[in-house]
Amino acid sequence: MNRKAVAARDAFVDLVQQMLVELGEDVGREGLKRTPERVAASLRFLTRGYRVDVDQIINNAIYHADYDEMVLVKDIEVYSLCEHHLLPFYGRCHIAYLPNHKIIGLSKVPRIVDVFSRRLQVQERLTTDIAYAIENHLEPKGVGVVIEAFHLCMMMRGVQKQNSKTVTSCMLGRFKSDSKTRNEFLDFIK
């Protein structure tokens, strides 16, 4: 690690230690001795999407194909951090697209989800970020993205509603303009 990276890591660790002090904790206590380092490393991991480019993830895994039926990848696990409280939200993402002579390697679809979910987010933006990334790279006839998630900021604090699920969608192209296509997608993900 270069000096700049070490200095940035050390500054982050110091911030976490100061946060623990502000919470009234004894940072010298056995259980907390390495907590600042662990929290800093954890947050870097959970926000690694800032340091990843979608083009790198796709890595030329877009292929010519005459396939023109819906491609659906469903039940992709999503883990993100709410940008308002830095608390996790988690759930499932369902993505469909109608190819326009281009398909993408299937493993790339959940990796695109990870790029955007591993950033501080709101679910609404996460949903549209994923949809537009697929639209921009594949130029399909349509894209549909639905995310269903549980938010710890709603479960642990605030309204404290443990069973509320938030559902967001972004429909582009034929998924937006053609109710038959949209309904077929929604039926598949039930």
pLDDT recorded at residue 85: 94
Strand-pair category, 120-121 with 71-82 = parallel
Domains and CATH numbers, the chain: 3-46 (1.10.286), 57-188 (3.30.1130.10)
How long, in residues, is the chain? 190
Asked if residue 175 lies in contact with residue 181, where contact means CB atoms within 8 angstroms, the answer is yes
Residues marked as catalytic: 82-85, 123, 151, 153
Q: Any idea which of 9-13, 65-69, 92-96, 115-119 has the lowest mean pLDDT?
A: 9-13
Position 100: which residue type? N
pTM confidence score: 0.93
Where does the pLDDT of residue 64 fall: very low under 50, low under 70, confident under 90, or very high at 90 and above? Answer: very high
Per-residue pLDDT of 14-53, as tens digits, reads 999 999 999 999 999 999 999 999 999 999 999 999 999 9
Provide the token pair at 125: 């933006």
**Measuring CA to CA, which residue among 58, 75, 172, 62 is closest to residue 112?**
58
Q: Count H helices and E strands in the chain, helices first.
A: 8, 7
Phi, psi of 120 (to 5 degrees): -65, 130
Q: What is the mean pLDDT of residues 81-93?
A: 96
Mean pLDDT, residues 99-124 taken together: 98
Task: Name the nearest CA neighbour of 166 among 148, 189, 152.
Answer: 148
Beta pairing partners, 81: 88, 120
